[in-house]
Amino acid sequence: MFLTQNRINRLSLFFSVVIVLSSCSYSDELDFFVFDPSQDYPEFPLSLSDVAEISYIKLGGEEDGVFIPTLKSSGIFVDSLHDRIFASHFNIGVLEFDIHGMFLRRIGRLGRGPGEYMNVYFYVQPEEERVGVYDPVKEKFLIYTYDGTFLEDEGISASLFPGFLTFLLQDGYLIDYNPSSVIYYERDGRTIVMSERTLSLFPLDGMRDKVIEDIHYEKPRVLPLDWGEDYYKLMMPGHLIPSRSGIILSTYRSDTTYVIGNDFNRRPFLVNKRHNGVQEGCLYPSGETNDYLFLCYQNNLLEGQNRLYFFAIDKKSGQAYKVTEDVSSPLPGPLQGRIQPDDDGLTKNPEYRFFEFSPQELKENCYDYLPPDLKALVDQCDENSNPILMLIKFKDVTHN
């Protein structure tokens, strides 16, 4: 489904009035929402602890030679059924921890041999206690048990170009979202970029047929010609976001965010009403509970000029709130107790978000202001310690 600009404008006017004024027709799910991040919204009155449980976890593994620079680029999965945390990094592989951060094992290893992979993008099936890691060389997901056993020839064969959260699981299927083509041309001193992205389903049991294969057309991005052919600057990635409403399909270059329900039909979920030409930003959901939808807005995609704004929408009343940082606080934004999840904090399951902190930086910059439980973990660390996770579990998320 592709919304034209005229149609978006008409829908914006209608749904803005309906949603803001229709508190009497409450539903747990927002069927469709039009949002203008340039409006002056009141500050959000709730703290993060009001809607989420917060825990701090020191990741182990240093004694086993596992040193983790960061987890932001490859994501984590929290299995609350078995109290496991799965994480990955490009030069380490896929790692398994218990819920307290104790390192348990590597899942497989980097390489080109049997049971080895050249990529760290993975999914987890808690009910089956299995982990799938995609290997682009073999064009296959390699399947392992939680104890690290390689299950040969049980993976899905697929030609993918995976990135962070470009595939997620839903109802026995792997949902994949990847670029299929890029077109750009020059006109009037500008470079105009258009891309297509393919949305596909792969059955995990190998028995079902693909249900849908859809094309999502990104909005063109207009840039000065002197950017040349730097594709990494021209093409900003999109990704899938796990949510209680379904899997959300979001891209930095589209006004419209879609949601994919259990029936695998894609429908418009959120429209960014603001349009600013080159300087316009991207709006995407970053978390959801039964009562609130949390949004993140990036006002400028040019390197070095990005700024994030956070919003929360009360789903009963339709009222939106702006979440701000306390600029006088010595603590990093996430530690201020505000609701500020963004795409760096996405995990592969909807009930969790995370932030990671360098223990040494916390010790040097804001140690005296840390919560007691976090301070106790920092005291156990030195300059060679792995990151500390701030794990956020929304209190009232329900599974589809």
Q: Please state, in angstroms and rounded to a whole number, the distance separating the CA atoms of residues 33 and 29.
A: 10
> Of residues 308 and 104, which shows the higher confidence score?
104
Q: Mean per-residue pLDDT for 82-102?
A: 93
> Of residues 77 and 224, which shows the higher confidence score?
77
In the prediction, which pLDDT does 379 show? 96
Q: Token digits for 392?
A: 């956020």
In the structure, what pLDDT confidence band is assigned to residue 94 with cuts at 50, 70 and 90? very high
Q: Mean per-residue pLDDT for 241-269?
A: 80
Amino acid present at 331: L
All residues at 6 or more sequence positions from 367 whose CB lies less than 8 Å from its CB, including other chains: 375, 378
Per-residue pLDDT for 107 more than 90? Answer: yes
In the prediction, which pLDDT does 85 show? 96
- Among 116-130, 179-193, 310-324, 332-346, the range scoring the smallest mean pLDDT is 179-193
Q: Token digits for 34?
A: 């039009």
In the prediction, which pLDDT does 136 show? 86
- Among 58-67, 82-91, 97-106, 205-214, the range scoring the smallest mean pLDDT is 205-214
> Of residues 31 and 359, which shows the higher confidence score?
359
All residues at 6 or more sequence positions from 76 whose CB lies less than 8 Å from its CB, including other chains: 85, 86, 87, 88, 347, 348, 354, 389
- Sheet containing 103-107: give its strands across: 76-79, 84-89, 93-98, 103-107
In the prediction, which pLDDT does 230 show? 45
Highest mean pLDDT among 20-34, 62-76, 182-196, 296-310: 62-76
CB atoms within 10 A of CB 188: 7
| Residue located via tokens 């009562």 | 291
Per-residue pLDDT for 60 more than 60? Answer: yes
- Among 27-36, 67-76, 361-370, the range scoring the smallest mean pLDDT is 27-36
All residues at 6 or more sequence positions from 6 whose CB lies less than 8 Å from its CB, including other chains: none
Highest mean pLDDT among 23-27, 55-59, 195-199, 210-214: 55-59
Amino acid present at 117: Y
In the structure, what pLDDT confidence band is assigned to residue 53 with cuts at 50, 70 and 90? very high
Q: Is the dihedral of CA 293, 342, 324, 376 positive or negative?
A: positive
**Angle at the Cα of 245 (from 129 to 313), degrees rounded to 5?**
130
Highest mean pLDDT among 67-76, 82-91, 225-234: 82-91
Give the rounded percent of residues in the chain with a pLDDT score beyond 70.
Answer: 71
Q: Token digits for 87?
A: 């994480």
Task: Report which of 40, 37, 17 is spatially closest to residue 271, judged by C-alpha positions.
Answer: 37
Q: Please state, in angstroms and rounded to a whole number, the distance separating the CA atoms of residues 204 and 175.
A: 10
Q: Mean per-residue pLDDT for 187-205?
A: 67
Name the phi and psi angles at 63, rounded to 5.
-70, -20
Task: Report which of 45, 35, 47, 73 is spatially closest to residue 387, judged by C-alpha positions.
Answer: 73
